[in-house]
Structure 1
């Protein structure tokens, strides 16, 4: 038996429970991991609330990120052995392979021997934000040196990963955040400029910063009314990549701006990268190289013990954090 985080109804953080579950031996092609740390994402909160892209049968587990020690391997797995320190690339389905538990089985293709320099907490905070940001900015948008890129929800783990990746390739990241409360922290994290969207004219400030050519790439997990000022400040032929839907308000389609500038508005999920072995291999190599060079450094906002998973989810939904929330096991 092992403890797992589960829920039997949709709702707020209080629906989460820690339960003892039976964990089978790993199946063929799977690796069993004794977990040391978990990474929290908005996706887990959405699954728990019943608004995620997956609809689980209840009761359900959850979780996309974990790091720990290999406990056993299934038939046909030759790349891992008991005792290896590993972290997991998010599985395509967290309902099928929930990661937030003491003992988990994961497809071997989703397991990475993480660099020895990483601690458990940092390893658990790594793959979801950096794969998401890499996939959008590098794999899809082809972000280049000298270009301006606007990153909304910039204090999130994906936002900070995007800022670091932009700097790594020589681009100029503009951090967009709701208020100026996190401005100093975002500048310290590498943002070239910070715009407080609730306090400033977003389109005007983006034009001021990026100049007449505008912003070619926008990375946004929010949607809603922010689409109009973002697209207004984009360059001809620019690309807005949408990977979330945090706004509760309708998202307008800025038709004439899109037409006049030949813009691309593109939906994106990290599953695109996860389901393509060649693209995933390129992403992992880019991220591991960035870690080794010191260009990429996961930022941990807070760490909670396993027993305080409800408090961790409450903090996640407070929007007060800068970076990743991690749970230790």
Structure 2
């Protein structure tokens, strides 16, 4: 399958640079994949499209201030490091720019020396493994030196770090936010619960697997990078009960979707599980775990638009994206949302 089948024209000015002051005031495109009908609403109105007994599945990962700026100890050359995930105590997989300047044994100093890192391995995908040295508690040192890892297409600074976290973020470990969840406020979640809509939580620490660009022409040749997920027994039992009584399982974001589909693929039912998933979902695959999907508008030729197309059909999704451009929806991390039923 040719990657060009998932390309579309996107004016640069539609890429949202800053979050809206009120999370739930973003726009919402409601897409019915059975009738191909499209409605234009606001996210605060999503309550109208959910029924008592439905269950929203939310990714409770919390974004680390995972972008660090340092200098090579020997030459003073500037280096940018993005933490992807922890492999063992004080050792992390990272992306480094400029990567070619960092060899095994290269030492990098951050701040006034509060944190140092030594490259221990060069990996196949061009990343590195580094081992950190510091005094005190690593997350506290990282909090003082690191920056939120906003995507490269966002040029504006983010004064409030919490605006790149969901209001229910809890489990620290992500290199990027599960952005579909950024639209929810605590008030909206309370409103949904009052209507009888359930909330279920899982964790997928967002890393390179979600955002690594597709660099091959043939989609089938793309390799996904693995990301850590966890779903506990309480959530597994809750989801199985929802399904048994005919409620809808609505995934909030592609990260929640990939976790649920991994578990259904591996176990056939919702089961408590944790591990690493490199699942890559694209047409003509079908999704078996969910009945609806809340998601943002994604990059052209990305694995994310392929996943959404597997759920709703490529032609319908590309038509929805065409209308989104026509109607001046805001795109990507701080942009608007779509609800696919």
TM-score between both structures, scaled by the size of structure 1: 0.28
Q: Which has the higher contact order (CA 8 A, sep 6+)?
A: 2
TM-score between both structures, scaled by the size of structure 2: 0.28
